[in-house]
């Protein structure tokens, strides 16, 4: 955490309800669905906040509400002290350069008809920061930085493996030198050996560019590795927040304890000992 000064991102009492209408299927939630229900969190400059929770806990909606990709029902999202909630699209646009997102499924988030160079260079071109040979040079640099090569410039996303596609998504996300990256399950769809590569890449980029991450994952092991602090989300609320060591080693909230107890222990003897301890 940054020792002093205001956090890069400050979320206060953020609420996002989805109206349910009176549909037959959704009448269980007559008041609408409270996907995000009063969330408070901060991310300091250069810090990684890990957000864990199970499906339906509201993690992804929270990410989108933070980036104003969905409009929050109420609450406040401050970025470098500036309130984002209620800004008009035109006012948001310059701020979007500072906040980028990486998705779980790079296949779905990369336009299949565009070449890698166009995808990665798109944000630079759109913001009018470079064109022509300069644009090409910057894209080549980005590709190199994420472990791809300039020869990949003219290829299409489907020609790449899952791990390489995630590298393309990362290159695009860092193209505008943002301060904050919201990563929604960025390694969940990848094989373990590739997961480690991507996690290490994100670590390196953070050191190099002083990035802050809001890193969402259901895999607590990965979050423990990458995060400075962890927030645990359940049913739209943050039930526990603390340093990664605190949350993983001395959890307080019953839901956090349940979540941690369910994670498989990748060590047979420990796993057996735990089962015997539980009387099974």
Partner 1 sequence: MIPRDPLLEVRDLAVSFNTEEGSVQAVDGVGLELRAGEVLAVVGESGSGKSVTAMTLMGLTRGPNAAISGAATFEGTELIGADDEELRRIRGNRMAMIFQDPMSSLDPVYRVADQIVEQIQAHRDVGSAEARERAIELLDAVGIPAAAKRADSYPHEFSGGMRQRAMIAMALSLEPSLLIADEPTTALDVTVQAQIIELLRGLNRDRDLSILLITHDIGVVAEIADRVAVMYAGRIVEYGTLDEIFYDPQHPYTWGLLGSLTRIDRPRPRRLPQIPGMPPSLLAPPQGCHFRPRCAHAFDRCLEVPALESRLADTPSHFDRCWLEPARKRELREVGDQGALEEPR
Q: Which residues lie near partner 1 (CB under 8 A)? A: 54-55, 161-164, 191-197, 199-200, 203, 218-222, 224-226, 244-245, 248-249, 258-271, 280
Spatial contact of 81 and 255, defined as CB atoms under 8 Å apart: no
- Hunting for tokens 């798109």 — which residue is that? 122
CB of 248 to partner 1, least distance (A): 5
| The token pair that represents 248 in the structure block | 């993983």
- Which lies closer to partner 1 via its Cβ, residue 71 or residue 267? 267
Spatial contact of 105 and 189, defined as CB atoms under 8 Å apart: yes
Task: List CB contacts of 221: < 8 A, sequence separation 6 or more.
Answer: 263
CA atoms within 13 A on the CB side of 13: 2
CB of 264 to partner 1, least distance (A): 3
- Which lies closer to partner 1 via its Cβ, residue 61 or residue 68? 61
- Which lies closer to partner 1 via its Cβ, residue 44 or residue 227? 227
- Which lies closer to partner 1 via its Cβ, residue 30 or residue 192? 192
Cα angle 96, 94, 172; round to 5: 45
Spatial contact of 64 and 58, defined as CB atoms under 8 Å apart: no
CB of 143 to partner 1, least distance (A): 16
| The token pair that represents 93 in the structure block | 């646009």
CB of 230 to partner 1, least distance (A): 10
- Which lies closer to partner 1 via its Cβ, residue 172 or residue 224? 224
Give CA separation, 195 vs 18, 67, 164, 221, in Å. Answer: 33, 25, 11, 12
Spatial contact of 33 and 40, defined as CB atoms under 8 Å apart: no
CB of 124 to partner 1, least distance (A): 28
- Which lies closer to partner 1 via its Cβ, residue 45 or residue 201? 201
CB of 56 to partner 1, least distance (A): 9
């Amino acid at each position: 955490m940054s020792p002093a000064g205001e956090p890069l991102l400050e979320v206060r009492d953020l609420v996002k309800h989805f109206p349910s209408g009176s549909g037959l299927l959704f009448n269980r939630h007559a008041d609408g669905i409270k996907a995000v229900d009063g969330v408070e969190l901060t991310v300091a400059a250069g810090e990684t906040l890990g957000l864990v929770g199970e499906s339906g806990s509201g993690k992804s909606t929270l990410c989108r509400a933070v980036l104003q990709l969905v409009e929050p029902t109420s609450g406040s999202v401050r970025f470098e002290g500036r309130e984002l909630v209620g800004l008009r699209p035109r006012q948001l646009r310059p701020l979007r350069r500072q906040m980028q997102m990486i998705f779980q499924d790079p296949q779905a988030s990369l336009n299949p008809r565009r070449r890698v160079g166009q995808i990665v260079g798109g944000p630079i071109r759109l913001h009018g920061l470079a064109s022509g040979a300069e644009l090409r040079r910057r894209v080549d640099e980005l590709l190199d930085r994420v472990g791809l090569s300039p020869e990949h410039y003219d290829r299409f996303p489907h020609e790449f493996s899952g791990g390489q596609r995630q590298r393309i998504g990362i290159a695009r996300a860092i193209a505008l030198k943002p301060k904050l990256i919201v990563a929604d399950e960025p390694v969940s769809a990848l094989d373990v050996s590739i997961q480690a590569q991507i996690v290490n890449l994100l670590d390196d980029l953070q050191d190099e560019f002083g990035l802050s991450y809001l890193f969402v994952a259901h895999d607590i092991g990965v979050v423990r590795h990458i995060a400075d602090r962890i927030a645990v989300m359940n049913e739209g609320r943050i039930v526990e927040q603390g340093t990664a060591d605190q949350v993983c080693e001395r959890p307080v909230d019953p839901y956090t304890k349940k979540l941690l107890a369910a994670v498989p222990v990748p060590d047979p003897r420990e796993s057996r000992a735990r089962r015997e301890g539980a009387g099974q």
